[in-house]
Amino acid sequence: MIKAVLFDMDGILYDSMPFHVCAWSEASDKYHLKYAPEDFYLYEGRTGESTLDILFNQTFGRNATEEEKTVIYQEKTNCFNRINTSRVMAGAAKALEQVKRLGLDALVVTGSAQKSLIDQLNNDFPGCFQREKMVTGFDVRYGKPHPEPYQMGLAKAGVQAHEAIVIENAPLGIQSAVAAGIFTVAVNTGPLPDSLLRDKGAHRLFHSMDALAQDFASVIRDAEGER
Ligand code: CA
């Protein structure tokens, strides 16, 4: 029996990826780092430090120093906070209604590390999430695509891998959830081809949170049928 639904946040609950991409591009320009904007959709889910190592390696052939990581990631965060409108993803509230209707537990598993996150979630999705059942960038050591964030989510939900499903939009997030042994639903809300999400092992794929909400009962049946 499925008992818990682990939601990724950026690109699933919030339509925030365009703002992250813009903020990464602005910070990269300022420090003359080479990038293609669509690459940031491929890095989504990584920690900021690990993304900076990739950018430094493709620009200068070396990792970023600790100081560079601190300064440039702060720059990216400041830019994101300035431009982000915190718009909720269309259909996310409907999907959460389905979770509630089926009596399942909802959790957030995100690499994001903002202190006010739970307040914002409570404001935008009242009564859906609890503070002690969240995995954020403050909790994890490795970040996605390592299975650690979703393993931590299972522990916080108090369930086994076969008792949960994951809702994810990013290739590395899907890789993380699949590595944790969890039935993983891809919702492709960005510009990447579906094949990139399927290749990471997604069990089902939708193109919007609305479409997922409409088919939610069948997703749960599929996840239970896999077991
Ligand atoms: Ca995401």
pLDDT tens-digit readout, 153-209: 999 999 999 999 999 999 999 999 999 999 999 999 999 999 999 999 999 999 999
SS3 (DSSP) at 9: coil
CATH superfamily of 4-16+87-225: HAD superfamily/HAD-like (3.40.50.1000)
Measured in angstroms, how far is the CA atom of residue 81 from the centroid of ligand 1? Answer: 17
Measured in angstroms, how far is the CA atom of residue 55 from the centroid of ligand 1? Answer: 20
4-16+87-225 shares its CATH topology with 17-83: no
Provide mean pLDDT across the span 3-29: 97
pTM of structure: 0.94
What does the pLDDT read at residue 143?
A: 85
The share of the chain scoring above pLDDT 70, in percent, equals 100
Measured in angstroms, how far is the CA atom of residue 227 from the centroid of ligand 1? Answer: 26
Residue with tokens 């300022």: 30
Measured in angstroms, how far is the CA atom of residue 117 from the centroid of ligand 1? Answer: 15
Q: Where are the domains of the chain?
A: 4-16+87-225, 17-83
Q: What is the mean pLDDT of the chain?
A: 95
- Side by side, the strands of the sheet bearing 134-135 are 134-135, 105-109, 4-7, 164-168, 183-187, 204-206
Measured in angstroms, how far is the CA atom of residue 70 from the centroid of ligand 1? Answer: 22
Measured in angstroms, how far is the CA atom of residue 64 from the centroid of ligand 1? Answer: 24
Residue 159: closest CA among 91, 227, 221: 227
Measured in angstroms, how far is the CA atom of residue 29 from the centroid of ligand 1? Answer: 23
Predicted confidence (pLDDT) at residue 123 exceeds the cutoff of 90: yes
Predicted confidence (pLDDT) at residue 104 exceeds the cutoff of 90: yes
- Tell me if the domain spanning 17-83 has CATH number 1.10.150.240: yes
Predicted confidence (pLDDT) at residue 227 exceeds the cutoff of 70: no
